[in-house]
Amino acid sequence: MSQPPTSADALIELKGITKTYGKGDAAFLALRGVDLSIRRGEFVAIMGPSGSGKSTLMNLLGCLDQPTSGHYGYEGIAVESLDADQRSLLRRHAFGFIFQGFNLLARTSALENVELPLIYRGVPQRERHALAAGALAAVGLPNKLRNTPAELSGGQQQRVAIARAIVTSPVTLFADEPTGNLDTRTTAEIMELLTRLNKENGITILLVTHEDEVAEYAGRVVVVKDGLIETDRENHKTRP
């Protein structure tokens, strides 16, 4: 088993993270004291059965939810001490998100979908057009700028979603079952794209999946069970 990074070289560091939903007799402990360290530039797959806590863990890492207790450090920032506005700023400036359902605006072109995070940042129109076009080219869709989601295949829609996630040059990319709605061939194409973004752009990728074939693309596999990390290992079967 690989040794986890020390505090000095960790991009992400969790210590004793718990998450409880509900109160009293209805309380459910989704995470039971998770310790996890991730280096900048790693590609980590998070796996586990339904109800294991893997999605809760991903939501906490992406600042979409807050832990009940414990420490979450991101680049030395104590995330658990941030207020809602500060967490929103962290998400906006350091994170990118890819979801199983693509989450594209139906009546909006690929270019305009990719521009959305830049609009939130206040980037001028000409600059955001150029950045969005560059991101679409980076994911292999240089000629689909004006197409709406209805005019694109499922794989192309997910590529648009990935372009939207990387257009702000995030440090960390969170991918929640990004191939769950795709066929085998398209899954391989999307995973090869994520692998290239990780290796060539240095983006740290945290991916939730229940598919062993998808996890094989990651350099490290973390398995969550009953709210705890069951195993954490290097993946020597990493695909090219």
Terminus-to-terminus CA distance in the chain, angstroms? Answer: 21
* CA-CA-CA-CA dihedral for 161, 167, 170, 176, to nearest 10: 0
Domain boundaries 7-234, corresponding CATH code: 3.40.50.300
Q: Are 194 and 205 a contacting pair, CB within 8 Å?
A: yes
- What local confidence, expressed as pLDDT, does residue 120 receive? 87
Predicted TM-score of the model (pTM)? 0.91
- What local confidence, expressed as pLDDT, does residue 101 receive? 86
| Gap between the Cα atoms of 142 and 171, Å rounded | 24
Of 98, 118, 90, nearest to 12 by C-alpha is 90
Question: Along the chain (240 residues), what's the average pLDDT of each consecutive run of 10 residues?
Answer: 54 97 89 96 95 94 95 95 94 92 92 94 94 96 96 94 95 94 92 94 95 94 96 77
- What local confidence, expressed as pLDDT, does residue 4 receive? 46
Domain boundaries, the chain: 7-234
Of all helices (H) and strands (E), which one includes residue 138?
A: helix 125-138
